Amino acid sequence: GEEVAQTPKHLVRGEGQKAKLYCAPIKGHSYVFWYQQVLKNEFKFLISFQNENVFDETGMPKERFSAKCLPNSPCSLEIQATKLEDSAVYFCASSQGVTQQPQHFGDGTRLSIL
């Protein structure tokens, strides 16, 4: 499609439950990025993919976070055993190239952990 599509828009989970977020990149874009925005302002990079391969995972918390981009499926970000501090807006972005081309962002998924 012409836009990055993120689902769901809102996700509410109890502490300790699993959360799974989805992202369909713009058609033809090879790179997918996940970012976490907390407190409305601060962005934290989580992970990037080149097609279905992990490109950079230096921002991913090792223990509870995982992500995949499989062929012919939306990319996904999964958080196991959620904690209160996981509450944030999670943005997915896609781009044609890894640095020069701009990253186009989805509308985000607001994750609320109760």
Partner 1 sequence: AQKVTQAQTEISVVEKEDVTLDCVYETRDTTYYLFWYKQPPSGELVFLIRRNSFDEQNEISGRYSWNFQKSTSSFNFTITASQVVDSAVYFCALSERGEAGGTSYGKLTFGQGTILTVHP
Positions in the binding site for partner 1 (CB under 8 A) = 31, 33, 35, 40-43, 45, 48, 55-56, 58-59, 89, 91, 93, 98-108, 110
Nearest CA-CA partner of 16 in 104, 82, 85, 95: 82
Q: Which is nearer to partner 1, 82 or 103 (CB)?
A: 103
Q: Which is nearer to partner 1, 14 or 28 (CB)?
A: 28
Which residue, 11 or 98, has its beta carbon nearer to partner 1? Answer: 98
d(CA 62, CA 60): 6
Q: In 3-state terms, what secondary structure has residue 17?
A: coil
**Shortest Å, Cβ 61 to partner 1:** 15
Phi and psi at 27, nearest 5°, equal: -60, 130
